[in-house]
Amino acid sequence: MAGILQYCFLILIFGIPTHTCAAVVQNAKCVREEPCFDLHLLANMAERVSKDVTAADGEKILLKHRSFDKIGKRRNLHSCVLQKIIKLFHDVLDKTKGNYVPKDEEINHHLELIHVMDRLKNCLYETKDKCKKLYKMADITTTSSPAIPEKNMNPNQLAVLQLQKLKYASERLSNVDIQEMVMDELKSLHLYMRGKGFRKNTND
């Protein structure tokens, strides 16, 4: 009888934490919620449709990772910028969907990625009206070469710079070079996503 009671006690001790943690582990921490979207899926699909374009230094649309990481540490900034990034990729995918020819595939990954962009929007942190001021600042700031080197910019300045790059590309969507540049950067898009909503699903 004592053995049964001891067994039940051990179940209670070890069973409760396991149940409350939902068995999703990230960085050795127990995460309560499932990820909103599995970024491995985005990366795999993007590889199938991305272009291989060699862009001159400084011509890329997305900032370098070390610069974008500064934006990523500010939840509101990151979400506001991601909204515009996702919109640009959605618009280019939609504009070029007729050019994609699936190669022995049952799924048209190009069309699927358009739906993925819509899903990604729902994974963003809710900013309400906090983006308006940032977007306005990006609109009124000159698009010429910034006086401050990118490596010395603070998160707000980098967010404005990124928004200007996105705006420049968005205004030239009919340009084939811009389309191909966006499609090339599609394969690295998953690296710019961060936070609980985009956590990779470790249950796969």
What pLDDT does residue 124 have? 83
What pLDDT does residue 85 have? 96
pLDDT in tens, 24-62: 444 444 444 556 777 888 888 888 887 766 654 557 899
How far, in Å, CA of 191 to CA of 204, rounded?
19
What pLDDT does residue 178 have? 92
Closest of 43, 24, 47 to residue 35, by C-alpha:
24
Strands 24-26 and 29-31: antiparallel
Closest of 180, 183, 176 to residue 46, by C-alpha:
183
Q: Which DSSP string corresponds to 75-142?
A: HHHHHHHHHHHHHHHHHHHHHHGGG---SS-SS-HHHHHHHHHHHHHTTS---TTTTHHHHHHHHHS-
Q: Where are the domains of the chain?
A: 1-32, 36-198
What pLDDT does residue 89 have? 95
Give the pTM: 0.75
Q: How many CB atoms lie within 10 A of CB 185?
A: 23
How far, in Å, CA of 170 to CA of 179, rounded?
10
pLDDT under 50: residue ranges of the chain:
5-32, 56, 199-204
